[in-house]
Amino acid sequence: MKYSLRQLQIFLAIARYENISRAADELHMSQSAASSALQTLEQAYDTNLFSRSGKTLKLNATGITLRDKAQVLIAQADEFEQALEGLSDIGHIKIAASFTIGNHLAVSYLAGYLSQHPQAKVDINVGNSPDVAEQVLNYEVDIGMIEGEIHHRELELIPWRQDQLRVFCSPDHPLAKKQRLSDSDITSARWILREPESGARQTFNKALAGLVPQLDIYLQFKHNEAIKKAVEAGLGIGCLSEIVLHNNFKSGDLVPLKLPKRDMTRTFYFALPKNRHRKVAIDWWMQQCRNADT
């Protein structure tokens, strides 16, 4: 065997950052040592794994093919090491979740997971769905949790649960008494929505197909709480997951509005890299999420 696991770790880090210096920082080694390790790996097999442009390195066709295989080997080596140390059931896991899931669901599942695996280290990163998908594809996390479909040939989506978007306004808004909105109401209202890249916005646009070009989109925010505050202040009407709005509807701070014949149902997905060795902890986490919803 002409390669080492350390060389594969360095190869994967450089592939993730497309920069030797940043990869070396992550691995707590010098830039020259990282560069030398990559060079030794390539020379051992008389091949190049990257296309080089200045300090930027991008995987070439060979590198892309070998990246998944290297990731599988590293994951298996990690599990083997844990087994040797008697720690195979610890359940360490890195998770990336979209805003609604990360702030309102994933954290609630954490207690159940840690009760079963008390020594586990769980990292949860929160961002919008495209950010989560990118972290999964770059092997920065073990699993992603997203609010809509993202199509990528290297991404596997596993349906998990259904969600419903709800349109809402403040109790003092003129539409609060009407409750059911006509197309005229929809196009004349000022809207406060999530950013265009978000899963919520994609579902909203699909549900209101045909009317979207006529909408008055007054404000756009990345965070659900900012949208709720703006709607509470009477700046317009909004649309978010009913998971986010449940307590507000219950307290009367916000009022739900009905859009007849507009389907705002969507699916939440687990996102994983295709053909990657799956850690046992990933299956444990997915099972915990499913059990919590039943």
The type of residue at 72 is V
Tell me the residue length of the chain: 294
* 272, 282 Cβ separation under 8 angstroms: yes
Binning pLDDT at 50, 70 and 90, where does residue 139 land? confident
Evaluate whether 149 touches 157 at the Cβ level (below 8 Å): yes
Q: Is the pLDDT of residue 71 over 90?
A: no
| Domains, in order of start, for the chain | 5-84 (1.10.10.10), 93-161+267-292 (3.40.190.10), 163-264 (3.40.190.10)
Chain segment 206-225, per-residue pLDDT in tens: 999 999 999 999 999 999 99
* Each residue's pLDDT tens digit, 220-239: 999 999 999 999 999 999 99
Give me the chain's average pLDDT, please.
90
d(CA 31, CA 19): 10
Residue 89 has pLDDT above 80, yes or no: no
Distances (CA, A) of 285 to 125, 165, 277: 15, 25, 15
